[in-house]
Each structure stands twice: as C-alpha cells, then as structure tokens.
Chains A and B, each alone.
Chain A
Amino acid sequence: MFYFTIIGTSDNPIYEAEFTTAKNTFQPEIKELNPYIVHSTLDIMEYLQWQRQPQLDINTSSGGFLRSRHSTQENSYLGKVDSFYGLAVSGFLTYGNIKFIMVHGNGTVDDTVTRSFYYEVYELYLKTLMNPFYKVNDPISNSAFDSKVRVLSKRLFV
C-alpha cells in the first residue's frame, strides 16, 4: 500500500493517489495521517534540496539534490527521506521544484522500483506541463494522467 502525492511549490497538493489492493489497505487512522506525514516530509525535502552531500542517514541510496557537478548520476531521486513508525517516505524533486512524495506502507523503499516509478511519473507530469491550458501548481484533474499513474503503480508495486 502506497500513498503518492505531487506537491506544488507552495505546499499545495497537485495530485494525490493511493495504491492499495483489497488485502493491503491503509487503516483509517493511517489514511488520515498520510497527508500529514507527507506535509511534514516537505521540511526534509527542502533541506535535502540544498545539500551536496547525503547527510541524512536514512537516505541511504541517494544524496542531496545539489550533488557534485562532476557526478553524472541523476539526482532528482532522493530515495528514502523520512520515516514515521512503520512507514517509510521516499521523495523525488523535479527541476521545477515540484516534489513527488510517497508513503510506503510496508516501511521499506525498494530503490530500483521506486526510482523507475518516479521517473515515469515525472515524464507524465512533464507531458501535462506541456499542455498550454495547464498552469504550474494547478491540480492535475486529467483522468488520463491518473489512470496512467495507477497502471504504472500496478505494474511496479503490486
């Protein structure tokens, strides 16, 4: 079970989705808590945004957003950025300062799968952004975007 959000530049949710199955669903109290966890993780994301070195120990797989310019590695994916009790939180930062944050209900972040999920969602987001009728920070109400993200999550996470 996952709770995925795209957060705009002024802490506003652009897109929210829960990827659950019939067996694996968030308990009602956790379901209510998820947005709060994501919101509090923004502090960490904003911290990592300006770091060159991966200082956060939870953040094992990736470093800060501002990594060395000699590194050719992609740096948008920030890996596991936060945790709260049994929940892990992973993050991805676009170059337009849009934050992708996901609460992993299983408490672990599979970097390979999560990274590819984020990059594919990023591509979908960029396509949305190219729509002349879409403005940055507007909620994404396009059902095509939603269904594509859900298909992606089923392919990668379930």
Chain B
Amino acid sequence: MESTIEPCKVRTLVVPVGTWKKDAYLAAVDELERHGEIRLVDVTPLPDCTFNPQLFPHGRVLYSFLTREHDSNSMMFLHDFEPYRKLFVVIGLCNDGLISTEACVNELRERYGSAISYAVIYNDRSKVVEQSTKYGFSRSEEPLETIMCDITRNFLESLHVYYSSYKHVTLRSPGAIGGPSVLKTTLTKKSQTTAPITNPRSKKGSSLSSKDDSSSSSLSISDDSIKDKSKRYSSLNALSGGTSDKSMQRSKARQLKLLANLQLLAGQYLLSMNNFAEAARILHKIHDYIWLGSSLEGILTCIILISYLQLPFQVPPIIHSLCSLSQNSNSILSPTTSRRSSMQSVASPRNSVSTITAASLDHTNIDIPKLVKKIADKALYYYDYSLSYSVEFTPQVVYCKSILRTLTFMSLCYKANGFDQRALQEMIFSDMSSSAVQNQDSLQDECIFTKSEIYQYSTKIFELQLKSMDLSSQIQIYLTLCMVYDNLNMFRKKSFVLRILFISILSQLTNDYLSENYHSLIDDLMKNYRISGWEPEHKLQDASSYNWVTLQKNVLMLIIKISAHFKNYKNVVEHSQLLLKRFSHTLTKLEQIDLLNQYILPHQNEYPVEYMDPFLIRDICFSRTRSEEMPMLKVLRDEESRTFNDPHQIFNPFASVHHKTKENETENSNYFLVAETVQMVITFQNPFKFDVRINSINFTEDDAQFMKIADLDLTSCTIPASSKKQFCVGVTFVRSTLTLHQLKGLSVSVLGLPSKFWGICKQPGKFNTQERCTLYSVPITIIDQQPTLCFLSTTLVDNRVMLLDGTETEFKVFLRNSSLSSPINYCSVSWITNVETELKENYWTSLAPDDLYDVDSQLKWLRENFISISSIPNEVGINESFHFSVNLDVTKAPFTLKWARITIQYGYKKSPEDLAVYVKSLTIPIEITLQRVLEVSNVNFIPIPEAFEAASDIGWIKYLRSHQSVQSDYVLMLIDMRNSWLLPVSFSFHYDEYVSERESLDSNETRRFVVPIRKIANYDDSPNFKDKLIPRIDESKQYLTSGLTLTQENEMREKFWCREHILNRLKCTWDTALNEHTEGSVEFRQFVEKLDKQVISLVYPPSNVFDIKVSASETTVKVGTPVRLNVTVNTTLHTDLVPIRYYILDYFTGKSVLSDHPKSIVFQGQTSTLVRPRITTEFNILPLKKAKFQIEIEVPGNILTREPIIITAG
C-alpha cells in the first residue's frame, strides 16, 4: 500500500540467510520492523559526509522493510525521478553463526546488486571468532536498536557515495528513460479534469511544447552516447556555474530535487524542504512541470514529517506563491492566528526570490492539512498539465501514486478526526497503531476533510485506465483504495474495490503478488456481502430474511476461484461447501456439478468435507411385513390408582375419549420383539441438482446395542436430483430396552464422504420457534420374546351352546402355550357379550333413571355373574397344555343374548412385583342360543274383595286364611304363566314366607296363578318411597338433571320402589318333570312391566293429603233400583272445593261401562264434579242390566279410593 510519506522511506530488503523456519523468520522480521525508526541523534557522526546525521540531529531515518522484491527492475525508469523507489539496503538475517560475514555480504551483493548498502544480522555469533567487519552484527552482542543505528550509519555513508555518482549525470524524466514502455497516464474524461492553466506557458501553444519535447527527447536513452556524455558534463557545469541557460537551470534544479529526495531519506527534512523549494522555484520558472510536481510532493512530505517531529518551520515562499495562499488565507490559515499571520515575516533562506512578494508563513499560523492538500492538488495539477507532452509526461504509476498518497493522507485525517500526533503516527507507522486511532464518524462535520470530499477525490483513480498497468501497481492501488474506504467506513465501496482487485488478479497468470494476507481480504469480502454470520441452515431468522443472493453467490464463486488461483485448496473446499450449502438454489445444475466434482470431491481426503445438506434424513418409520399380534403393555393395579370416587372430581364428558386415545397410542407406538426383523423406511431428501449416492447407513453406537441393519442393498441407493426418496432397510432387534428408546437419527455416508450422524428433520421450523428445524425422534420399545397361547378345543360342539333360560351350564376350554422360550405366569380373563356391544355408547343419556337401573343392573350381572372361570393355573410352562372350566349362568340373562367372547390376556411377568406386564390376548367366541322355558304373559293385581270365610284346598286361600286377621293387608297378584319349552315343567312361587304348591304346565300351556302379596304399607320398615332416590349402579354416569318435575319424580320413585319391592320377593323355581337335573328360575324383571297407578294405589298407601270415603246405600240391588253413593272427601288442605272424578267399571273386565250401548247404568251424566271437603255428597246411579259394577272415585292427580265400591245388580 502507498504510504502518505512514501518518499521518505528507505526501502530495505530483508532476506533469510541460513536455514530458517518460516515462523521464526517472520518473527525476526517483525522485530526488525519495530526498530524501523532510527533517530539521527543516535547515529555516529560522519563528518565528511553529505548526509552527516549531525546536520539535523532531530531527523529520523525510516525504514520500509520488504520481504520480497517486486518491482526493482520494472520501475528502474523511475529511479532518477523518484529515487526513493530504489532498493537501498539489503539486510540478511542469519541464524547460522558459522557463515562468514564477508561471504554473506558478497552473496547479497551478487544477488541484489542494485542496493547500495548491505548488512548481515546474526542471531548469535559469540562462539565464532572472526575479524569484525562493519557489515556483520550479532544480536547476542548488542541490542537490535544499536545494530540498526550502525546499519543507518553505513547506509548514510553509502548514500553519500551514491549521490556523488549522480553529480556527473544529467537527470532525465521517466518518459525519456523508459521510452515507449512507460505507460502514459490516460484519463478517461480528460476534458473535465483540467481547467485552463493560468500560466504564460500555455499561451505559447503547441509549437513551444513540441520544441521543449525535442530538447528533452535529445536526452532520451536512444541518443548517441557521446552526445549524452557532453550533455551530462554540461549539466554538471550548470550545477556549479549558475548560468542562465535553461537546460543548465533544469539540470541544476533536477539535481537539487534529487539531493532533496536523498536528504529526505537521510532524515534531513529541513534541508530537504529548502532544496525542494529551491528546485521547485527553478522548475516553475523553466516550466518543467513533471519535476515541479514531484518537488511539490517532496515539500508536502517534508511538512508532514517536520510536523511529526514537532519542530518549527516556515512554509517556503514558492508554496506561498504557487498555491496562492494569500488569496485563500481563510481556508488555509488557522482561525486563531489568521490576523497576524500575514505580517509575520520570517527570513527564509531563499527569500530573495523576486517573484514572491509575500513573506513566508510560520507553521503555527497555518492549517497544515489544508496546506498539504493544496500542495498535493497543485502537484497533481502540474502532473495533469505535463500529460500534453510526449516525453516529459507523468507516467500513470506516478500519477496514481500521487493521488493515492493524498487520499491516504486525507482519509487518515478523517479517521483521526484531525491532524494531531495520533494521525501523524498513523501516517508514518501505518501498520503499527491502527487501533489507536478511533474512527469517529459522528464528528465528521468537524473534520478537516469531509467524507464526500475524500470520496470525490478517490473517484479520480477511476478516471484512469488501471487495467493497462502492471499487476503489482494495480494491486497496490486497489489495496490502498480499500484502506481509504475502510477509513471512511465505506465498507461496501471497499468490497467493491476488493472484488475488482480479485478479478484483476485472476486475469493474470502469475500469482506472485499477494502475500498470505489475502485471507483477511476474503474475510472482509465475506463480511461486507453478509455471507459470514448468515447461517440459514441453523437459524430460522436468517433463513427467512432476504439477502442479495446473486451478489453473494458471485462473490463466493470469485473467492473460490481466487483461492484455487493461489492453490489454497482448504479455502476452496470450505467455500465450495458453503456455496452449495447456502446458495444451491441460485446455482445451475452445471455449476453445482462443477463445484462438487472439481472443488470438493477431489480434496475430500486432505481437508474436512461434510455433506452440504443438514437435513438429509426427513423421516424414519418402521413397518412389519407379517401381521403378527404384538403384545400390549398392561398396567396392573390400574383399578386402585383410579380415583373415580373422588367427590370433588367434576364429571368429564371426554374422559372416555381420553382413555381411548391412550389405548390407541399403545397400539401405534413401535413395539418390537427381540430377534424380530422389520423394515425401516428412511426418507432422504436431495435438494441439489445432482444425484446423491448413499454409501452406508448405520446406527449410532447407542442405537447399535439394540438393533442392527439386517440386509442393506446399497446398489440402488441413489437419491435423484431435487427429490425425496424412501429406502427400505431390514432391521433386526438385538436386545430389549429397559425403557422407551429414542432413535434420534442415523449415521449415513453419502458421496463417499465419511459417515456422519444425521438427525431426523420431520418438520421444518415454524415461524414462532427459534430452531431452524424441530428434530424428531422415533420412540422404540424392544421387548423380550413373549409366550404364545394356542386354542386347542372346548367341550362344546363347535363352540356353540343351547341353554334353557334361567339355568346354568359348565364347559371346559383346552389351551396350550406354544412358545418355546417363555412361560406364562400372568393370565386375566374377561368377556363381552352381544348385549354390551349392541348398546350405543351413550345409551344412558336418553334413559329415565328407572329404566337405566334395569339396563345397568342387567349389564352388571352380565359382567359379574354371567361367566365364572375356575381352575386357571398360576403358571403355564413352555410348551405346556392346560384347561379351565367356564360356568355359564343364564338365570338373569336377557333374551337378546346371542354370543359371548371370552378374552384371555396372558403374558410373562419377570418378577411378581412388576407393575406392568406385556400381554397378548386370545379370544374364544361362544355362540349361545337361549331357549325360553317359563314365560309370564300377563300380571295383574286385584284387591281381596271379601274375606275368605270358607275353607279351601287352594294354597293361597289357605295362606290368606291363616292370616285372616289381616286379610285386608293383602292383594292378589295374578300371574299368567306359559310354558314355552317342549317338555312339561313343574314349578312353585315364593313370596316372602308364602310358598305355593308345585304346579305343572305342559308344553305351550298357559295358566293363571295367584300369589297373595302383602301390601307394602303393612311392612314395619316400609319407607317413604317418595324420598328414596332411584339408585345408580354405574357411579361414573352423572346426571345434571333428570328433566322431571318433582311430582313426576316422586311418582317415578314410588313406582320404581314398589316394583323392586315385589320383584325382590317374588321367586319362581322350576324343573322339568322328566329330568330332575334341569332346573332353573324365572327372572320376573323381564316380564313385569312398570306398575301403573292403580296397582300402586293397591299395594302402596296413598298420600294422606286427600282421603276419600265412599259408601253405598246397598251393594246388592235389583235391576232398576237406584243406589245412593255417599262420598266424603277429607283433606288437610284449606280449600273450599275439591274436584273428583269417578269411574264405573265392569267388575270382571275392568272396562268402563259409561259408554256402553245399550246403557247398562244411568248416572248423573258427568264423570267429574266439585265437592266440598269434609261434607258428604250424594250421587245416585241406576243399574239397567244385570252386572257387577266397580265404582272408583279419585281426586285427579292425587289418589284413588282405597277400596272401590262394588255393586251387584241382580
């Protein structure tokens, strides 16, 4: 990079001597660089030398250490014009003390003949005794600083000799030396860059310039050597003589400039500045613009350096004059001293110059940066002007570097936010304290140079045809521009320039120009185009953000190419992977294949290469080829853990749904048996446009202890481009898992790369999650081999059984444990019938509580009593047979019963304490035909009309007679029984202590039987049924409301409890007459309907709100004789009128006779009327034909007469 003070740097080449390791050598060079500034005061005086350090002890010699020589020959034409471009010193760093100094120096001199001073620095020379020379130094004997001072002394001495050789030489312009090989500055927009120069020379037009050219061209290298020699002598004369001849003056001025340049190198800044000023004065006078420009640049370098030394100085009058300081004093003069500055004239050594009228300016009065810029502008202006000449022109490299130096200066002033010691440090030791200078973008308004001004200046570079320059110059220009833009915080501009730089490098064949430091440039490029730090494969935020992917892709391609250019294949591989990983969607198929085959795969053995897609595996699932029953995990003691009876638990209508889901889960989860082989289906994805071949699939170490790949056919394992593909792999399970095992991924090798673990990315990340992808794992449970139970036979024929209703039967089931590895020690039997399966799940929601009780009690009975199993062994050994007995009880079975399924859940419990066991189930279906035997076709209740006085043989009459005192407490239950069986059946009824005589019914015969039942009211413990809730069998079913009114509910309770009362007491047992062994019972619940009101009023005491008493004048009358009925209604209510209704029924049929035709009885005409309570009301009726009438009177909605009146018309 071009430093601001490049003209004062002594180019020093550092070469290794001996056998160095690279790192040690670079460290030694680093240390040397830390001693690159030598104060003249420390250097031993050289009394007879032109560059005696004592002349300006404040001065410094600044070294620029190079480790490789780039352009010593190609820039030879510049050595007269810009002597500082020459290589001056060669220092050999020697780590081998045995090499002699002289041999070493001779070698250096031979190789680098263009240098003027040589030195060898030994690491350690204590053991070698050699005559000390002034070129050999040993670090073990003296510190490096002292060595450098000695080297400086040698250098100054040699510089004196070097300068002496120039005394007899005419200095020629670079264009004259280099001839046509020198690249002339080419401006793309020449017209706008230069304003008409206000110079008397311009008025003379082209004729003069061509004349001048001819004079210069006579000095060109092609000229005759004798002529050349004479000219040189003449120039020597000019220097000494002070003639007015123009060429003499030119020679003198150029010599002065050369001297000034060398003085600048030797650290004598004040002398140098004066010489530059004097040279400039003369050059200006004789219109030698290119040298004038260079002299001005020399002056500005001196000003910067003297400012750095913080010494007082005066601005040379020529600057004053050329840069028109007096006219622009406002901008150049520092604001504090502007008023007095112009008057403060201090005698300059050359102030006798007649053209300069104003006095020289003291440094304290001026704004140095502005002045420097002004001088640089002027220098550029003269360079510009020189471009119209054919020989005395400014070469492009000089022009460019002048711009770059100014740019560096401005940008450093901007970065340091001023022109202080820090900024100067940065300018002089550019790479030493760059971090010390903080960039202060916020204060840019107060800066000496604004950002736009600097940027504007930098665009001058792009007016030049940089492509035509040699590569090393291009690299320097671009790197300097990068630094400038970096100082300006214009990182995008910097990246842009870097890209141009890389493109330029790629266009050249050589790769000798960039050092290893280009890595940092690549990093910069990556950072500024937001490639680094953008990780869409990991961060969801990045993946969903938009970027300039075309730019990023092109930059990455460029980086890959540049890395390949420098044979840095590590970078090539790394960035190629990055490109494929993040930008595959922007790449064409050809590009992707090229990247893979040219850049990645060939280097996979040397550098780490990973497959680029992080989501290779999209899914893993298992499938069985055989449909074998899998054991199911059954938790024992489940019932205990449930808390159904918790009174605080709120009814959850979804509980059953939840329960069901859990069952399904168990069924669907991956349960496998040890030694079982199943298919593992892996879904791979390939987002790339090339086919991806899978080389191996394996389980990770953790997974491999449980399962292994059984058969892997990888011949067809290629995922086609841009697609997903499923592969089936056989998996065998090796060991059982203790708990649930999670299969998190597989170890897969693709494209011949090493195996790597890949997680399962089933679902891409959603926008509300942080993760790019939610990794999925497959739950697996591997269990030991389980026993298998085989059904052998039963004692039934074809598993079918015919049963007589109300009987029981028993049969045996024969089974065998066919497993050869596992016994059975857990067995649990359950059953289900068609009655349960045919019920709807929510059957109970639409049933009234009393109906529900019937259904539920039936289900309960089926569940608990229908089947009983006996003699199941505790353990069934391997390959052992056994049997158990099943008792089918159909005493209370519903007639709809058609089949039952007995399910045996069996398994092997490793220890008795196990809380869960894997069970398999075996189901035995049994077809059942239920044959009805005794049926009840009708049931009726009648009161006992009159006391039984006469003795009788009939059983129930006998029974009633024995309870004569309380006969009115009984009612008669009339039961019509029918025998539906093929054989006669004998049976008897039981009700409380009443036992009927044995009756017999032939097949298909129906007969009525009478059972006396005691009225419920007469039981001592008869409760109030209205207050007794209808019980719920299944407590899990809860009702919010039954939907009934209180009255309806009370009525229902009465009916329910009355029926229950009777059913609980009424029994009937039967046996077939022919076969003593067949016996059964009748389940009346199935036949007895709900009781109606009349029955209730018979068997259960009415409510005592109303009490109706009816009496008849006569109970036996002749036809046509009126009968008077006295009705008295007593009530506890305070009411005036009570509605009553009466029914006149035929005693035998129970039908109403009111609507008979012809009429059998005459009555009042109304069947309902209002009566006064507690007052007897009379009704008259007139029987018209022979009959027996039953008259019942009721208060509607309440009660009936307890005892109906019976009137017999004879």
Contact = CB atoms under 8 A, between A and B. Distances in A.
A82 to B, nearest CB: 8
A137 interface: yes
A91 B539 CA distance: 33
A66 interface: no
A58 interface: yes
A36 B496 contact: yes
B551 A36 contact: yes
Contacts of A12: 545-548
B188 A56 contact: no
A12 B546 CA distance: 6
Contact of B456 (A11, A14, A57): A57
Contact of B496 (A14, A32, A40, A47): A40
Given A11-B530, A43-B490, A43-B491, A35 B452 contact: no
Interface in B166-215: 188
Contacts of A58: 456, 459
A39 B451 contact: no
B546 A44 contact: no
Contact of A47 (B451, B459, B551, B554): B451
B495 interface: yes
Given A12-B546, A39-B548, A55 B493 contact: no
Contact of B459 (A41, A51, A83, A86): A83
Contacts of B554: 32, 35
B826 interface: no
Nearest to A87: B462
Contacts of B490: 43-44, 47
Contacts of B455: 44, 47, 56
B453 interface: yes
B452 A43 contact: no
Contacts of A39: 492, 495-496, 529, 548, 551
A37 B456 contact: no
A86 B188 contact: yes
Contact of B452 (A8, A55, A86): A55
A35 B550 contact: yes
A139 B548 CA distance: 11
A13 interface: yes
A46 to B, nearest CB: 9
Contact of A13 (B485, B496, B530, B548): B548
A56 B499 contact: no
A35 B462 contact: no
Interface in B128-156: none
A95 interface: no
A42 interface: yes
B450 interface: yes
Contacts of B462: 83-85
B454 to A, nearest CB: 11
A35 B548 contact: yes
Interface in B525-549: 529-530, 545-548
Contacts of B451: 47, 55
Contact of B492 (A42, A55, A57, A137): A42
Contacts of B495: 39-40
Nearest to A37: B496
A138 interface: yes
B450 A55 contact: yes
B1179 to A, nearest CB: 87
Range for the number of chain A residues in contact with chain B: 20 to 34
A10 interface: yes
Nearest to B450: A55
Contacts of A42: 492
Interface in B492-506: 492-493, 495-496, 499
B809 to A, nearest CB: 75
A40 B493 contact: yes
A35 B546 CA distance: 16
Contact of A56 (B456, B493, B529): B456
B1018 to A, nearest CB: 84
Interface string B451-476: 11101100100100000000000000
Interface string B1019-1048: 000000000000000000000000000000
A58 B458 CA distance: 12
Contacts of B453: 55
Contacts of B529: 39
Contacts of A8: 546
Interface string A1-29: 00000001011111000000000000000
A71 to B, nearest CB: 19
Most chain A CB atoms below 10 A, which of B450, B491, B546: B546
A138 to B, nearest CB: 7
Interface string A118-140: 00000000000000000001110
Given A36-B496, A36-B499, A43-B491, A56 B452 contact: yes
Contacts of A84: 462
A41 B292 CA distance: 36
Contacts of A10: 545-547
A107 B529 CA distance: 26
Interface in A36-86: 36-37, 39-44, 47, 51, 55-58, 83-86
Contacts of B188: 85-86
A11 B545 CA distance: 11
A35 B495 CA distance: 12
Nearest to A44: B455
A43 B456 CA distance: 13
Nearest to A12: B546
A37 B554 CA distance: 14
A83 B529 CA distance: 20
Contacts of A85: 188, 462
A137 B546 contact: yes
Contacts of A55: 450-453
A13 B549 CA distance: 9
A40 B492 contact: yes
A43 B499 contact: no
A98 B822 CA distance: 75
Nearest to B490: A43
B756 to A, nearest CB: 33
A84 B499 CA distance: 14
A37 to B, nearest CB: 7
A85 B493 CA distance: 14
Contacts of A51: 452
A96 to B, nearest CB: 16
A47 B452 contact: yes
A124 B143 CA distance: 73
B196 to A, nearest CB: 19
A8 B547 CA distance: 9
Contacts of A37: 496
A44 B452 CA distance: 8
Nearest to B529: A39
Given A36-B499, A37-B496, A40-B493, A11 B548 contact: yes
Interface in B846-872: none
A74 B492 CA distance: 28
Contacts of A35: 548, 550-551, 554
A83 to B, nearest CB: 6
A75 B918 CA distance: 80
A137 B495 CA distance: 23
Given A11-B530, A56-B456, A43 B492 contact: yes
A72 to B, nearest CB: 24
Most chain A CB atoms below 10 A, which of B493, B495, B499, B554: B493
A43 B529 CA distance: 13
A14 B450 CA distance: 31
Interface of B: 188, 450-453, 455-456, 459, 462, 485, 490-493, 495-496, 499, 529-530, 545-548, 550-551, 554
6 contacts: A10-B547, A11-B492, A35-B551, A37-B496, A42-B492, A139-B546
Nearest 5 pairs of A and B residues by beta carbon:
A40-B496, A55-B452, A12-B546, A43-B490, A56-B452
Given A41-B492, A58-B456, 5 more contacts: A13-B548, A43-B485, A43-B491, A47-B455, A83-B462
